[in-house]
């Protein structure tokens, strides 16, 4: 055990007082002044580097350096400075402090990536976490080597024998890292993307992409955590392209009762001409049919003449109505009103179009307004929407459809 005389105790007390004063000077005066100057600049990195936690770590590095410089000077030669155990403990603590400072610097880099527009949506956090694991591992190896008096290479070479064990321990970390690289390289998801992962019940915005987990904030504000490695192995629906495209798709059908399909009479056509979306259409369609029927009559008067059907006219009504809707983009995006193959549930008339907004609430309102109108106007065409069991009820009561009671 090393004993200290009065002179050495005095020198040690002075040395510690100098170190404490230097630490307080850095923490309370120098760094606060630098922080005020940094706030006046337009750059962001200097503000982050002067973050409270980083400054705290960095101050200890300066204190250790000052302690080393003073301790080796002739005026403060103390016996225990030359003690092997003390030197090893000092060097180990100095290495630990540098390691913690590097880790804090990596945290600053991560914060910077979250602030920069260019890197905000990239999975930088996962890469930073991998670097932190590597730095922590090397720092621990160096500290172990210092305390035991062995070389760093000695412990690194010993890791080869533990490869299988390390692979087993860090299996999830390795898989997550590979997944993070794939996510970044293939641009599978970004922070801010609206994704849907049915396997995990996730449907919302990506708020965080870390090494091991991806956090999704659902529309009910709950958070779903998905393992990063599962993102590349699971079906993920990403709605980003829709947002970038500037429109959200409406793809919905109205099933028309087949028994309500018929040819339109002249009186029915006259009534339908009062509907603005059909006025020009019916005028041109009548001229087209009259011209065709005249040619047919010249060939054979017994041939069936062409007539307008209520379902075809209804389809034209939908098309013209939607083209006049300012909430839809029918010019630059796909726009279809089509009849699908009939089925036991009727004849589907499908609408395939895009709204000019991707905002969810507005989208639902636009879609609802459209179909409210289309369902309400069906009786004007003599059409009925198919409802399961309704026709059977009509047949059982032997009543006209319009007299059917609830």
Q: How do residues 154-182 score in pLDDT, each as one tens digit?
A: 777 766 666 667 777 777 777 877 787 77
Could you give the 3-state DSSP secondary structure of residue 123?
A: coil
Distance from C-alpha of 278 to C-alpha of 291, rounded to nearest angstrom = 20
pLDDT at 221 (0 to 100): 87
Distance from C-alpha of 89 to C-alpha of 232, rounded to nearest angstrom = 46
Count Cβ atoms below 10 Å from residue 65 Cβ, excluding itself: 12
Angle between helices 84-115 and 124-148 (to 10 degrees): 180
Count Cβ atoms below 10 Å from residue 57 Cβ, excluding itself: 19
Q: What is the mean pLDDT of residues 335-348?
A: 92
* Percent of residues, the chain, with pLDDT higher than 90: 21
Which position has the higher pLDDT, 108 or 303?
108
Q: What is the mean pLDDT of residues 321-347?
A: 91
pLDDT 10s digits, 351-369? 999 998 888 889 999 999 9
Q: Which two tokens stand for residue 391?
A: 């026709």
pLDDT at 406 (0 to 100): 44
Q: What is the mean pLDDT of residues 73-92?
A: 68
Which position has the higher pLDDT, 137 or 397?
137
Cα within 13 Å of Cα(245), Cβ side: 15
Q: Which two tokens stand for residue 50?
A: 């002067």
Which helix or strand (DSSP H or E) is residue 226 part of? strand 223-227
Count Cβ atoms below 10 Å from residue 163 Cβ, excluding itself: 9
pLDDT at 153 (0 to 100): 78
Which of 148-152, 234-238, 343-347 ranks highest by mean pLDDT? 343-347
């Amino acid at each position: 055990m090393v004993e200290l005389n009065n002179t050495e105790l005095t020198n040690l007390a002075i040395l510690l007082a100098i170190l404490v004063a230097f630490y307080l000077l850095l923490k309370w005066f120098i760094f606060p002044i630098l922080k005020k100057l940094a706030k006046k600049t337009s750059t962001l990195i200097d503000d982050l580097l002067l973050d409270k936690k980083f400054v705290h770590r960095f101050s200890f590095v300066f204190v250790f350096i000052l302690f080393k410089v003073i301790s080796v000077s002739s005026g403060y030669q103390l016996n225990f400075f030359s003690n092997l155990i003390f030197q090893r403990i000092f060097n180990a603590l100095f290495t630990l402090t540098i390691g913690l400072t590097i880790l804090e610097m990596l945290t600053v880099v991560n914060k910077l990536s979250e602030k920069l527009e260019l890197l905000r949506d990239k999975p930088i956090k996962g890469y930073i976490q991998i670097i932190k694991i590597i730095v922590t591992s090397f720092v621990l190896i160096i500290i172990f080597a210092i305390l035991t008096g062995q070389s760093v290479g000695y412990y690194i070479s010993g890791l080869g024998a533990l490869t299988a064990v390390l692979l087993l321990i860090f299996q999830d970390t390795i898989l997550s890292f590979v997944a993070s690289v794939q996510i970044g390289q293939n641009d599978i998801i970004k922070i801010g993307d609206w994704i849907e992962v049915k396997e995990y019940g996730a449907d919302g915005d990506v708020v965080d992409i870390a090494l091991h987990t991806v956090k999704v904030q659902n529309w009910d504000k709950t958070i779903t955590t998905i393992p990063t490695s599962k993102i590349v192995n699971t079906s993920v629906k990403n709605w980003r392209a829709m947002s970038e495209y500037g429109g959200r798709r409406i793809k919905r059908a109205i099933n028309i009762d087949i028994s309500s399909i018929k040819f339109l009479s002249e009186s029915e056509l006259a009534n339908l001409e009062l509907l603005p979306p059909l006025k020009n259409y019916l005028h041109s369609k009548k001229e087209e049919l009259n011209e065709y029927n005249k040619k047919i009559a010249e060939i054979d008067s017994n041939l069936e003449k062409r007539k307008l059907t209520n379902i075809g006219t209804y389809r034209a009504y939908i098309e013209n109505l939607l083209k006049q809707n300012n909430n839809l983009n029918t010019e630059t995006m796909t726009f279809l009103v089509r009849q699908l193959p009939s089925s036991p549930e009727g004849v589907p008339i499908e609408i395939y179009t895009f709204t000019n907004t991707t905002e969810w609430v507005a989208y639902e309102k636009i879609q609802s307004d459209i179909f409210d109108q289309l369902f309400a106007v069906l009786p004007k065409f003599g059409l009925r929407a198919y409802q399961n069991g309704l026709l059977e009820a009509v047949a059982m009561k032997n009543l006209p459809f319009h007299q059917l009671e609830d």
